[in-house]
Chain A
């Protein structure tokens, strides 16, 4: 499992070429529908997968013994808050993408609620360039739907789409585009450049001052309730709008069983609707708020056990298309407060795959091919990314993650590459370990550490 030394026999080729060549030995590649899962060798070179077959030998390539490891196409996150520009005390593009690489990601979508808001070509290009400079993974900026996230007039969506950042996903995440007319116009408008509107579904009036899922816990703790209907009503409305205008709607961080039912219905009609679920909504419930520790304060809120079970089922059956982290870093002082004062959000990039193993794979709901689909292939497709989310076959871009599912469960330590420490999984034992991540054939992570 450790990075080997370059082989010294045979025709070594030039040093530069060899730097770029990796031979991954004995890795398990999950089935792809046609073939079952198999153990094989994989050769990476020139940014691509050049061969996938047993008994590969390439003199001069660096060798990585991958016995027991699973090769997944590099993970793609549709929902990341990198906080730069504006809140570099919480996260930067550099630290956030380093955290992403450590979590097995090769591409992240950077949400628009920065300061200034990513609602112009200038800001999205800045974020995109910062991502290229950092080099840990691809950074695809998400553009705001409305100017300043104010929900009153459309941002210059076309200009952002035409910019160097090639924005295709637009979202006011953190706020809901609640005005139905504005939502309709946004959905219609982005059809011109194959865009998608990613909606943070939250009726603002039904959630004024809302703190925690409305239910037994909120009643007991005296925290203002965030009712499931505030999410479901917006999702229902937006599915109908998407059907009416024939445009792509993506629903962010689905959190309730009722939302799943509406999405299942919309998909059964053949409507262009996709959806994501976060790792924390697949594992945690509002019971965690019992001690008022705001590390469990997130929007949408943690729900009930019945919701968690239904979200897992929906992800397994494909009603929910993908896992997205909603990685939301916050400085210590934003969480060491009274619950109502604390910021919403939790980090997630570095733990997402391990949480998915625990919630989905170890429970028998999803196999590793399914994980590749829900954490790489489908999110890349929804985000209109090229060169990401491609199954690992000869000719595919060499974006991949090597994961050890048999690594002994270890308690999560909130001290990774992210600048922030607000992980809800701290102290929880999660299985598995990301061993290596490759971005276009170049390792960003080796032996579980930044390369």
Chain B
């Protein structure tokens, strides 16, 4: 694996599987009364957040703490950034403090890439502008794999893995090691143009063998989307019956007034996932959303709260997946398959 995780394109299929398998090992930890490992004791992880994102920051913080790392939270508000310090000067400051890893969330595309040129430690991109959010894609892949791939095999439409029917919505733990997402059909719906989640998912899911389709109004697709490793559709309804996974993207408030679509209602009518649309999905299909949701806009409340929804699971899997990434970037490349010793008091 590379020293930094900036783009999902940094990950080979083997890298991605190593992270997912490691996360699978770590998942067992969440069920223990003491959820902590000594692995990163004495290492420092800085959460450098230039954008508000309680969800992602807490997820990374929990992940680092469960690995016993020291965590420093640096948020743009109330810090020297507010006084006009440049990203480079902030980077040099963190460098001087001996950060082993910097987790950065920034409003500018490429900020994580630039930061990696200025610090010695590992840089983890926790979302940069409209570029990428690779750990979101990893946790999404992890969630899909747990839900839809059988033991050592692959899922897909031909062999729906959730043989138990709708009851198969309960997560299966530890059954999918080594498996990719080969043949699974994932439809990503909404504002692809401005979505870092979509960019990372297209790259990672296709690396793992999934067939990705983007469904969106033409105004919300990049001009050169034809060069991406995925299919494109303007018609959500025709995609739903053949989808194993539907991933709904958040519609940002600022898009609603910038002529990308005529009105929120029309967007919702054409691209929102409501109960009627959900009924067109195959029985085993799951519904994902990276959060935070606009209930009633891109996703109906009944859908968000249905058994198909993995939204809460995605949050839990986020901690596990980020632990795996921190472990592999900071701790080493191999992960013992044996039980982890829990930290004892």
Contacts and interface: CB of A to CB of B under 8 A. Distances in A.
A62 B33 CA distance: 92
Interface residues of B, number: 24
A219 B199 CA distance: 9
B114 A292 contact: yes
A214 interface: yes
A338 interface: yes
Interface string A214-225: 111011111111
Contacts of B128: 222
Contact of B86 (A218, A221, A337): A337
A215 B111 CA distance: 20
A219 B110 contact: no
B159 interface: no
A215 B109 contact: no
Interface string A25-49: 0000000000000000000000000
B224 A341 contact: no
A211 B110 CA distance: 12
B227 A338 contact: no
Contact of A337 (B87, B132, B196, B228): B87
A222 B199 contact: yes
B106 interface: yes
A216 B113 contact: no
Contact of A223 (B106, B109, B117, B227): B109
Contact of B109 (A216, A222, A333): A222
A185 B132 CA distance: 46
Nearest to B196: A222
B113 A219 contact: no
Given A222-B132, A222-B196, A338 B114 contact: yes
Interface residues on A, range: 20 to 34
A287 B133 CA distance: 22
B108 interface: yes
Given A222-B129, A222-B199, A292 B110 contact: yes
A179 interface: no
A224 B196 CA distance: 13
A218 B196 CA distance: 13
B335 to A, nearest CB: 31
B222 A219 contact: yes
A340 B86 contact: no
Nearest to A208: B258
A104 B269 CA distance: 63
B129 A219 contact: no
Contacts of B223: 214-215, 218-219, 225, 227
Most chain B CB atoms below 10 A, which of A211, A222, A292? A222
A338 B51 CA distance: 15
A410 interface: no
A194 interface: no
Interface string A320-351: 00000000000001001111110000000000
Contacts of B227: 216, 219-220
A183 B110 CA distance: 37
Interface in A106-123: none
Contacts of A292: 109-110, 113-114
B200 to A, nearest CB: 10
A261 to B, nearest CB: 20
A292 B129 CA distance: 13
B131 A221 contact: yes
Contacts of A336: 86, 88
Contacts of A219: 222-225, 227-228
Contacts of B114: 292, 337-339
B175 interface: no
Contacts of B228: 219
Contacts of A338: 87, 106, 108-111, 114
Interface in B220-236: 222-225, 227-228
A295 B342 CA distance: 49
Contacts of B130: 222-224
Nearest to A289: B110
B109 A340 contact: yes
A292 to B, nearest CB: 3
A221 B224 contact: no
Contacts of B110: 221-223, 292, 338-340
A337 B224 contact: no
B224 A339 contact: no
Nearest to B131: A222
Interface string A179-221: 0000000000000000000000000000000010011101111
Contacts of A220: 199, 227
A333 B87 CA distance: 11
A293 B311 CA distance: 37
Nearest to B50: A338
Most chain A CB atoms below 10 A, which of B222, B225, B227, B228? B222
A427 to B, nearest CB: 15
Interface string B78-101: 000000001110000000000000
B224 A218 contact: yes
Nearest to A332: B88
A218 B222 contact: yes
Contacts of A340: 108-110, 129
A302 to B, nearest CB: 15
7 contacts: A219-B222, A222-B196, A227-B223, A292-B114, A337-B86, A338-B109, A338-B110
Interface of A: 211, 214-216, 218-225, 227, 291-292, 333, 336-341
